Amino acid sequence: MTAEPRPGQPPDADRQQGVRAAILVLLAERPMHGYEIMREVEERTRGRWRPSPGSVYPALRALFDSGLIAGELRKRKRMMYLTAAGRDAAERAQPPWTAWDDDGGVSAERVRISQARLNSAVQELLRVGSAVQQNQAADFVEEACRRLYGILAEGR
């Protein structure tokens, strides 16, 4: 059974090819480890798609086994880089984020980045904040939701 993709996320077969292409294109820019690749894909698709470790790491293994990438341990992280054959493959690869280049725009990207920052702040507050701080945060988030719906109501 395959999971339904999130809105704007490519179907499974396209995702598998997209992960492979994304890895090749990103490693053509600089060596990276797996989680860097996931973050870069998420950034370049403006938050619409972040491949999971369950798709990135098997793709890295397949690319390694096929001789397109190699790796070395740096500061306790396995940094992957392209081989000569990998550079040739990267030149032919179509990165998955090009499908979204004309969609979303700068405003949508700003909202997604702000949302991610807010989520991180809330998670940190839940982790280390006092009960008083958490109650203040809940009030703040509830007010933010009311204001967002107000913005939508104004535009109608």
136 contacts: CB under 8 Å, gap ≥ 6: none
Amino acid at the residue 136: Q
Residue 34 clears pLDDT 50, i.e. is over it: yes
User: Binning pLDDT at 50, 70 and 90, where does residue 106 land?
Assistant: low
User: Binning pLDDT at 50, 70 and 90, where does residue 2 land?
Assistant: very low
User: Binning pLDDT at 50, 70 and 90, where does residue 108 land?
Assistant: low
User: For residues 95 and 22, what is the distance between their CA atoms, to the nearest angstrom?
Assistant: 5
Residues 139-148, mean pLDDT to the nearest whole number: 94
Give pLDDT tens digits for 62-98.
Answer: 999 999 999 988 888 889 999 999 999 998 888 877 7
Give the phi and the psi of residue 21 in degrees, each rounded to 5.
-65, -40
Residues 37-50, mean pLDDT to the nearest whole number: 87
User: For residues 2 and 21, what is the distance between their CA atoms, to the nearest angstrom?
Assistant: 21
CATH class of 12-100: mainly alpha
Query: Which SS3 state, helix, strand or coil, does residue 81 take?
Result: strand
